[in-house]
A and B are shown apart, each in its own frame.
Chain A
Amino acid sequence: MRTSFEWIRSMVPGLTEDPKEYSDRMTMFGQKVEFFTDLSKDLEKIVVGQIVSITPHQDSDHLCICRVDVGQEEPIQIVTGASNMKENDKVPVVLDGGRVAGGHDGTKTEGGIKIKKGKLRGVESFGMMCSIEELGSSRDLFPDAPEDGLYILPSDAPVGCDAVKYLGLDDKVIEYEITGNRVDCFSVLGIAREAACAFSLPFKPALINETGVNGNCADDISVTIENDELCKRFVAREIRNVKIGPSPEWMQKRLRSQGIRPINNIVDITNYVMEEYGQPMHSYDYDQIAGKKIIVRNAKDGESFTTLDGEEHKLDPDMLLICDGEKPVGLAGIMGGENSMITDNVTTVLFEAATFDGTNIRKSAKRLGMRTEASGMFEKGLDPNNAILAMNRACALVEEMGAGEVVAGTVDVYKEKKEPVTIPFEPERYNEFLGTDISADEIASYFEAEELSVDREKKLVTIPTFRQDLLCFADLAEEVARFFGYDRIPVTALKGVTLSGGISEKDEVLDIARNSAFSYGFSEAMCFSFESPKVYDKLLLSEDDERRNAIKIMNPLGEDYSIMRTQTVNSMLESLSLNSSRRNPDARLFELGKTYIAKALPLSELPDERDIFTLGFYGEGDFFVMKGVVLDFLESAGIRGDIVFDPDSNNPFLHPGRKAEIKLSGESLGFLGEVHPTVLSSYGIRERSYIACVDIEKVLLNRDSSVRYEAIGNFPASTRDLSLDVPKGITAGEIEAVFKKYGTKNLESFSLFDVYEGEQVREGRKSMAYSIVFRAPDRSLSDDDVNTAIEKILKGLSDIGVELRK
C-alpha cells in the first residue's frame, strides 16, 4: 500500500512531522512504513518557462537556440536538441546551477545531474528545457508527455513558478506494509485515520455533499442479485449528460503520487475513490445496458466473455457475472466488459459500487489468470457499508468537477445488512494481559479516537464495521498496547512454576552422532527433503524396490523437487559430487535428515518420518574407516550387543563385493559400503566413495545408555596365536562367530593381526592370523583350560573348512 503524503496531510491537517518522523511513528503504531520516496528528489531550480523564439543553430543540424521567458527581467538563451516545441509553448526549465533526476531516456542518476551554463557548439546556453523523464517521472504517469522530447505544460501554467510544485512532484510517497487483518488500511482514508490516532490529531476526511437532481435512478435501472452469498451488496447510481474531459490538476497529482495514470474525469473519479475509500468502483455506458436492468449471477459452464482489455475468457459456474437484460457486461469484481465500457462519446454513466465475496474473487481471478487492482482489493473481504460511502463520494466529485448530472436516488440491493458488533469493555483484563496499569479513562479515549464507541455504563465497546479485525478482548488489548506504545509496556520476568526442560532422547542421540562424525573429520551437511524421481534409476534401484514408493508433491517447484525422499543416498552423493567437481581433494560429510515413508499411497495419513544418520566420503580412507565411524557411533550411542556386518545387503548402488548390512540381533540398523562405480560415474564423482546410513529410530529402540563397571581381571591372561588356512570365501565374521561360539566363557578377546593371500598360500585359500586372549575372573588358567578351548574352536573352524596352517 502506498499513499501520497500530501493526501494524508489534507485529512490530518495538524500533521507537521517530516516523512521520516511520520514513518517511524506509524511503524511503531502498527502501520509499518517500508520506505518513502521523495518525488522531488534531485530536482532543483526548475521553473515554468515560455519559449519566446526559436532560431536554428548555425553550426548544427539538430540543435536550435531558444529564448525562454523564465519570469526574470530578460528571457534566457537555451540551446536544445529537442524538436517537439514551438514558440509560446510552456516547458519545465532547469536554470543554471539546478539539478535534474536523470537522462531523458528514463535512467536515473544517483544524486541527480547538475546543470550549468555553458557553450553548445559555440553558442551560450543558460539552462535546460526538460522532458518528463528528466524530472524523474514517466510517460506512464504523464500520458500527455511525448515519447521523445520536452514535456509541454498546459498553456495556463504561470511562467516563472516552481515547475516541480506545479506538476505535483513536491510530494512524498509513503510505502506501507499493511497486515492482512487491517482491510480498512488499504485506503488513503484508513491510513489517514491511523495517522490522526498515532499523532493524537483531529481526523478531517473530505465532507460528502448530498448529490442528485431530477429524476430517480430507480426508474432507469433495476438490480437483481441471484447469488447473495457471493454478492453481498450492489449500489448503483446514474450520471446523465456526462462531459468527458481531463480531471482537475489536483486530482491528477494525487493519482500520479499513488502511481495511477490519469485518463479522463469519469475514470479518474472511480480510481480516486478506490484509492481513497478502498472500494473498487466500475462505470458502465448506460446506453449499452439492455433492458435497463442489472442481474448478478453465476456464469454458465463454458460461457465466454470479453473483458474491456479485449481478451476473451472461458468461464466456469463458480465465477460471478454482472449481466444486463441480455448479456454479461462485467466479470464481477475483476474487470468490466468491452461491450459496456466508457468511451469518449458516452452520455449516461452507471456507477457500480458492490461488495463481492473475497475468496470467490481470488479464486476466479486466479483461474482466469487476471489479477486486477479491483480483484486484489475484493480479495481482502470488504466492508459492505463502505460501498455506499464510496458511491456518494464519487457522485459528489462528479458534481464538484462538473463531469455530469447526478440523478437523484440510489439503487441499493443489500439483503443482509452488516451491523456493528459489541464486545465487553474490560480495562482490568487488558491491563492484566499486557502487564500494564492504564486507567479505564485513558483506554476509553484510545478507543474513541479510532471511532469505536464505548458505553462505560454497560461496559460495552461497539466496533464499526470497517474494523473487521476487532472481535475479542485480545484484539482490544492490542489496540490498547499500540496506543499506549509497545515500547512503554514493562519488561518482566516469567513467574510461575519452574520446569526442568531439556532435550529429547532422540536429540541426545543425534548429538552423539554429530560428535562421532566430527571426531572422524566429517562435517555436517544439510540437504533438501525433496528430489527428482529420476534418482531411483541413477541409484540402480530395481523396478519393484520399495524406495520407489515416494510421496509426490502436488505443486512442486519442478520435477527435480517433486518427490519426498525415501533414502538419503542421493543427497549425499550430490554433495560429494559438488565437492569433487570443485576439485576439493577430499570430502567427509554427514547429514542428519529425514526420509519420508508412506504407509500407503496415495497418502491418507501422515507418513513415517525417519531420522537417518548418513555419512559419505571420498579421499583418504577405505571401507574400514567408514566401518570404524559407524561402530564408534553405535558404541557411543549405547548399542551393547554384537553388531554384525552382513555382506548380504540389498543396496544396488553399492559395490557388490564391498557392502554390508549393519545388523544387531538379526535386525538391520542400516548399511554401508563403497559406492558402485556405475553410480559414481552417473554422479560425476571421480574418486572412490564410501557411504553409510544408520536409522536413528532403530538405535533409539536398542540402546542401553546405562554404564556398568566390570571388575578388571587380577589373574593373568593366556594368549594363543592361531595362524589359519582359510578358504577364500570365508569371512572374518564367520571365523569370529566360531570363536564366540566355542571359546568358552573364558574367552576375553581376539584380534586379527594379519591377512595374507599369494605365494606360500594355496590357490583359493588365504592365511589369517589371530591372537586370542583367555582369562578367568577367579583363578589363573591352566594350559589344559586353554587347550580345551582352542581344540573346541579348531573343531568348529574345521566345520567351515578352516584349518591350522601347517
Chain B
Amino acid sequence: MLLRLKNINTFYGKVHALKNVSLHLAEGEIVTLIGANGAGKTTILNTISGVTPAGSGDLLYHKEPVQALAPDRIVKLGISQVPEGRQVFKPLSVEDNLELGAYLRYRNREGKSSIHEDMERIFTLFPRLEERRKQLAGTMSGGEQQMLAIGRALMARPKLLLLDEPSMGLAPLVVQEIFCVLEQLRSERGMTILLVEQNAKAALRLADRGYVLETGKVILEGDAGELIENAEVKRAYLGKDKKEIWER
C-alpha cells in the first residue's frame, strides 16, 4: 500500500471540509476522485501534500505517518502535486519552471547532468514544450501550461503524482493528449496517480478505481468500470447522455 488516509478530518477555520475521509492507493494504481464543486477533492490533495494539514486522522505513506510534515518534506518523500489551475510561474521561462521542479534535487548536490537528462525526458513526453523552452510560461496556451505544470511536478522524480483537474478549461483533444501521457507514465515508469477531475467520464475511463465525494465525505467507492455503470454516478456526474435516468 503506497498511501492510506484513515479518518482524515480537515478544517478551514471553522469550516469542516473533510469528514472522516478514508482512502488508499496501491503502487502503480491510477485512482480518481470525482464529485461536485465544494465536495473536498482539492482539499484531499492539499491535505496529502501538507498545504492544508489534517486536523485529525492518519495519513500513511509507505506505512509511515506523514500528516505532520511540511510540504517540502512531502515532496522529498516522493509526492508531487500539480496544483489546480496549473499555477505555472508566468514570468519565468519553460526551462526555469522545470528547473524549479527539481528545486530539492539541486540542494542535495545532485549532478546537474541528471537533472538536465530528466528535462530532456520531459521534452520527449511533451514535444511542444521543447519548441518553447526559452519562452515565458505565461505566454503559452492553457494546454501547454498544463503540460508544463505536469512536467514541472515530474522534475522532482515523484513516485506519487497528485493531479488537480488537469482538464480544466482545455479542448477535448488536448485533454486526450494529456490523459495519454498519464497512462504512459504509469505503464512506463510505474507511476502512481491520484487524479481529481470534474470530467468524470474521462477520468473513470483512465482510472483503475475511483472515489465519489459529496460535501466532504466519501459516499461511494469502487472499480472505475463499476462506477461508470453505477446509476447514482450516472445521474449525478455523467450527465446528459443518460437522459433516461435523470428525467425519470
The reply to whether chain A is a binding partner of chain B is: no
